[in-house]
Amino acid sequence: MADIKIRRMTWLDVEEVTAVEEASFAIPWTKEAFMNEMLRNEQAIYFVAVQDRRVIGFAGVWQIVDEGHITNIAVLPEFRGQGVGNQLLHALVTYARSQSLAALTLEVRVSNVGAQKLYEQFGFECAGRRKRYYQDNNEDALIYWAKLGSETE
């Protein structure tokens, strides 16, 4: 596999990020939503995974006071299982620590065991459940939290 670079997302990436989103989620965010994140949401920070100048994944977090809410992590289907999600989550955690955030949180589908295992590798722990959270099929979401400190994950 060619080298994958992780970098901050810009509005120029929105088209490709939207394609990754559409390939990953039943109810994807729109191009307009991502453009809004890039240009209007001062709390939003996104990273992209790029291989051969192609965006193959992305991850985002909203910084809310001293906590971060991970909004989405997605990788094109043909690149899943190759560590891209791990690299993106590492970038988010590193960023969060650089901003002295106390914790990160996210929701994940009960059925998405692979993602749950990834988050647990980074110190996330299940702290609750949101009933019927996902609109496409009313699946529950698990709420994960990770306390951040200076320790390495």
Tokens of 125: 């722990």
Read off the pLDDT band of 136 (50, 70, 90). confident
C-alpha span between 75 and 84 (Å, rounded)? 7
Domain boundaries, the chain: 5-147
107: how many CB neighbours lie within 10 A of its CB? 17
pTM: 0.91
Task: Work out whether strand 103-109 and strand 67-75 pair parallel, antiparallel, or are unpaired.
Answer: parallel
Q: Is 107 a catalytic residue?
A: yes
Note the pLDDT tens digit of each residue in 59-113. Answer: 999 999 999 999 999 999 999 999 999 999 999 999 999 999 999 999 999 999 9
Q: How far apart are CA 25 and CA 115, in angstroms?
A: 14
Catalytic residue among 21, 46, 95, 119: 119
Architecture of domain 5-147: 3-Layer(aba) Sandwich (3.40)
Contact 102, 67 (CB under 8 A): yes
Given 67, 107, 133, 134, the catalytic residue: 107
